Structure 1
Amino acid sequence: MTRVLLVDDEPELLEAWSFALEYVGYDVERARDGRQALAAIERQPPDLLITDLMMPGMNGEDLCRALRSDPRWAEIPILLHTSAYIGANDGAALWNAVLRKPARIEDFLATVAKLTQG
């Protein structure tokens, strides 16, 4: 089963996206910030990381930088799911795809499927 780590500080969003992902067959782990996400990745690396950008503690950009700088995790695909403005060159090397909040469920699931197919 494909394992997804979903990282966001909004509990309602974590619940909704977790439900949608689990409904279509993904194994989902949740984290509320970058630090919790790194701890989860240490325990068991996911097949896909989905993260928000703006979070307290360790934000999404710092989380992505930590993954990309560690050879054990550098190849994990990252979907940035954020309402923050992202310029064309802002962090482009840090993530594989960007979806603006609020993303349509169809777009969200299609992007997840694309990133987890290898």
Structure 2
Amino acid sequence: MDDEPEMLEAWSFALEYSGFIVERASDGRDAIASLQRQTPDLVITDLMMPGMNGEELCRAIRSNPDWADLPVILHSSARVTTASAPGLWDAVIRKPAQLEVLLHTIETLRRR
């Protein structure tokens, strides 16, 4: 999920090309609606978005028993770490990230 359409499109295309099924959301509320329809294997979100931001989205995910263990990657230009908000996200990738870094992080989290 990302509020930058170009970033959302680029990552979606790259992940689909790598064999993943991708559900896109442009903000936190859109992501919650998508999660209610079908729980994914993993969530990738930006931090700074209009409406419901990435931290609020992660809090909503963690507070729902059906989603609490869902791996979350924070992909953001903000200076945050996994220690910035313990338990909200499982990994942080700084923008702009390389595809290889994102794919490695996804595989690492999927193996847990």
TM-score tier by shorter-chain length is: over 0.9
Aligned to 2:24: 30
Aligned mates of 1:98, 1:88 — CA distance in 2? 6
Cα distance in 2 between the residues matched to 1:105 and 1:69:
30
**Structure 1 position 89, deviation (Å):** 2.8
Match of 1:112 in 2: 106
Q: Is 1:58–2:49 an aligned residue pair?
A: no
Question: What's the C-alpha RMSD, in Å, of the aligned pairs?
Answer: 1.1
Verify the 8 A CA contact 2:82 2:90 in the aligned structure 1. no
Q: Does 1:43 align with 2:37?
A: yes
Unpaired segments of 5 or more residues in structure 2? none
Q: Does the 8 Å contact 2:77/2:96 carry over to 1?
A: yes
Aligned to 1:3: none
Alpha carbons of structure 1 residues 36 and 88: separation in structure 2 relative to 1, 3 Å: closer
Q: Secondary structure at the match of 1:93?
A: coil
* TM-score, normalised with respect to structure 2: 0.95
Partners of 1:112 and 1:18 lie apart in 2 by 14
Within-5 A mapping of 1:72-87: 72-87=66-81
Structure with the bigger RCO (C-alpha within 8 Å, sep 6+) is: 1
User: Is it true that 1:67 corresponds to 2:98 in the alignment?
Assistant: no
1:4 matched to which residue of 2? none
Any stretches of 5+ residues in structure 1 without a counterpart?
A: 1-6
| AA partner of residue 101 (structure 2) | D
Q: Find the partner of 1:17 among 11, 25, 29.
A: 11
Length-normalised TM-score, structure 1: 0.91
1:114 to partner: Cα distance: 1.4
